[in-house]
Amino acid sequence: MGDLLSRLWEEHMREPFPPHMRGREIDGEDMVLLDADMAGCVLSSLSGPLDAKRHRILLIRLAAVEKVLPSIEDEDGAIEYHERLREMAAVAVELGNTKAR
């Protein structure tokens, strides 16, 4: 799973944040902040298990991206970008759950 997360992270880093999403809020979620929070937690998980605070943040932000995905317009590859973000977060959460057992 760690290899999958590394590959997804590399793909994510090659793609710019969708320009039309800057300054946007969807269902009460600031899209730039959502991206930054999730990416920061995923990056931390690449270095080792997440601490309890980051794990909790990632779970909350994962639920948020699930909530907003249906409302994202597919301009500038925004849907694919946020689906990959969701997948990375889910893998990072699973890695954390696996390491905690």
Amino acid making up residue 11:
E
What is the model's pTM?
0.89
Structure tokens at 34: 């959502």
What tens digit of pLDDT does each residue of 18-62 get?
A: 999 999 999 999 999 999 999 999 999 998 888 899 999 999 999
Report domain extents, the chain.
2-100
Cβ atoms 99, 49 nearer than 8 A:
yes
Going by pLDDT thresholds of 50, 70 and 90, the confidence category of residue 95 is confident
Q: How far apart are CA 77 and CA 58, in angstroms?
A: 23
Within 10 A of 101 (CB to CB), how many other CB atoms are there?
A: 4
